Amino acid sequence: MSMGDTPAFSRRDLIRRAAALGIVAVPTVSLLTACASGDSGSGNQVDKGHKSARNPLAVNESAPLEVVIFDGGFGQQYAKDAEAEYKKAFPQAQVKHSATQEIQTQLQPRFNGGTPPDLIDNSGAKQMDSGTLVAKKQLTDLNALLDAPSYDDPSKKVRDTLRPGVVEMGQFDGDETWILYYAYTVYGVWYSKTNLAKLDAQYPETWDEMLKVCEAAKKKGIAGWTYAGKYPYYIPFSLYPFIAKIGGVEVLNRIDNLEPNAWKDPAVKAAFEAYYELYKKGYILQGSPGLTHIESQTAWNQGKALFIPNGSWVEHESQKTTPEDFRMAVGAPSGLDKSDKMPFGTIWASGGEPFIVPKNAKNPQGGMELLRMMLGRQSSQNFIKSVSSLTSFNGGTDGLTLPPGLASSQEALAKAGKNVVNPRIQDWYVALQKEKIGVAALGEMMAGRLTPDEAIVKIQRFADDTAKDSSVKKYRHK
């Protein structure tokens, strides 16, 4: 997810990270439900401080602040830098920082006991299920933060400085905003301009062109595609916008809404069959079903495969294995044919790295104030320079020289214009998206163990089961 995730999911949101680093599949909703079972506020919250122009959220200036960051593709230094700024503003406050890839495992007991941290980067493969946290009233409404003066310009509210769609992503079934996505992730088909040039090829805008490029690569002993087979929920990073391009954004909306037969839409079938053709023609790097995201990215960096579905955190995460002349770039999904409902350039871009302030946090004002600082120009530019990814602060790239992948992300967003899609299934129904759709169906299809039709039937059954499960809170597009 960052989906910046490790993906992330999103990345980031989406993950989203490696077995080599101890990552495994996301916990089921039922596990989290057990830990998020009350909505009573904390009786241990610190007293508020004095509200002023310098302190618009009324932070208690001497109260301790505890922050837990997901230690994934973006690392944790960006948060430590922001915490240092917080310490300058409130020198009497003690700031406790910790980082982990075991977000759900480590924080579930603390939610259960009513002693969660003040600010959490709820990301990675072991992220907590956001939909369940919201349904169980375990989070603080962040509208107070969004309506506060922005860190750099008091004449603007924080919400008015954010990229389009970021606030809405943090809302579920009302006007409350429960999550603030800090990173802004561009998902798609990532490639090396250098390696394509070696084949005298351009990025393919149609599926026929994609197959031709893959065939040319195969003749030279190079795979067309690889992917994180152990974490196949990366596959939707390019597959979902491909479905939208073919059938229109309404297809994704019906999928998000858990509507009957949504997965049986012709656009889904066409997209699945196209991806399955990559397997049938031998265009996928041998062994990909057994690769972690790190291993697949390394093989891609080494030129063993041309294309990989991923999010924009990949530039920072794979920097140690990326050749200097790689010229990393992201492409929007290739079109299927002339009947596509959306133009070439349609892409998935959305907030990543979901930050939350627990309802039972001792110092929720401090947690929100740290986020306000992070959404200032200085912290945003620090994040961009250090991890090669955008933040949700709109305009943070001004005056910066961007690395190739990030520059390509900016170009892709500009080309997409209004044709940016944002599937919500990844944050509304985390377990369904990762465990069921990703691991049990798409991963099996791309490995050749399910046909497209079989994968669709299986996914539709998973979606129907979720729709019928009264213990799972349901959300719909407005």
SS3 state of residue 170 = coil
Interatomic CA distance for residues 322 and 303, integer angstroms: 10
Closest CA to 139 of 14, 283, 2, 32: 32
Contact 336, 272 (CB under 8 A): no
Give the N- to C-terminal CA distance of the chain in Å, as an integer: 24
Cis (ω within 30 of 0) for the bond into 327?
A: no
How far apart, in whole angstroms, are the C-alpha atoms of residue 432 and residue 466? 7
Dihedral sign (CA 457, 438, 191, 306) = negative
* Nearest CA among 310, 434, 375 for reference residue 24: 434
Structure tokens at 114: 């009513």
Kindly report the CATH number that applies to the domain delimited by 19-185+351-402: 3.40.190.10
Assess contact for 308 and 226: CB atoms under 8 A.
yes
Position 43 scores a pLDDT of: 64
- Structure tokens given for 140: 């603080």
C-alpha distances in angstroms, 184 versus 163, 349, 364?
Answer: 8, 7, 24
- Cis, peptide link before residue 163, omega less than 30° from 0: no
95-100/420-421 β-pairing: unpaired
Residue 326: name the closest of 348, 284, 298 by CA: 298
Give the Cα separation of 191 and 151 in Å (integer). 37
Selection from 233, 237, 51 nearest residue 144 by Cα = 51
Whether the Cβ atoms of residue 87 and residue 93 lie closer than 8 Å to each other: yes
Tokens of 164: 């389009």
Q: Which amino acid is at 193?
A: K
Strands 180-192 and 390-391: antiparallel
| Contact of 345 with 415, CB cutoff 8 Å | yes
Is the separation of the CB atoms in 91 and 64 below 8 Å?
A: no
Cα(258)–Cα(239) distance, rounded to whole angstroms?
Answer: 18
Helix (H) or strand (E) segment spanning residue 381: helix 377-387
Task: Show pLDDT as tens, one digit a residue, over the chain (478 residues).
Answer: 444 344 433 333 333 333 333 333 333 333 333 344 444 445 689 999 999 999 999 999 999 999 999 998 788 999 999 999 999 999 999 999 999 999 999 998 999 899 999 999 999 878 898 888 998 899 999 999 999 999 999 999 999 999 988 999 999 888 999 999 999 999 999 999 999 999 999 999 999 999 999 999 999 999 999 999 999 999 999 999 999 999 999 999 999 999 999 999 999 999 999 999 999 999 999 999 999 999 999 999 999 999 999 999 999 899 999 999 999 999 999 999 999 999 999 999 998 899 999 999 999 999 999 999 999 999 999 999 888 889 999 988 888 899 999 999 999 999 999 999 999 998 889 889 998 999 999 999 999 999 999 999 999 999 999 999 999 989 998 7
C-alpha 2/C-alpha 353 separation (Å) is: 6
Alpha helices in 90-155 (DSSP H): 103-113, 130-135, 143-146
* Nearest-angstrom CA–CA distance, 450 and 441: 7
- Give, as one character, the DSSP assignment of residue 406: H
Exposure of 418 by Cβ count < 10 A (0-12 exposed, 13-18 middle, 19+ buried)?
exposed
Check residue 9 and give its pLDDT: 38
- 151-to-33, 118, 287, 465 alpha-carbon distances in Å: 36, 20, 48, 45
- pLDDT score for 28: 38
Nearest CA among 215, 240, 253, 207 for reference residue 10: 240
User: Where is 328: in which H helix or E strand?
Assistant: strand 328-331
CB-based contacts of 457, cutoff 8 Å, min separation 6: none
Total number of residues shown for the chain: 478
**How confident is the model at residue 144, as a pLDDT?**
98
For residue 284, what are its two tokens? 């996928």
In the chain, the amino acid numbered 425 is I
pLDDT for 395 equals 80
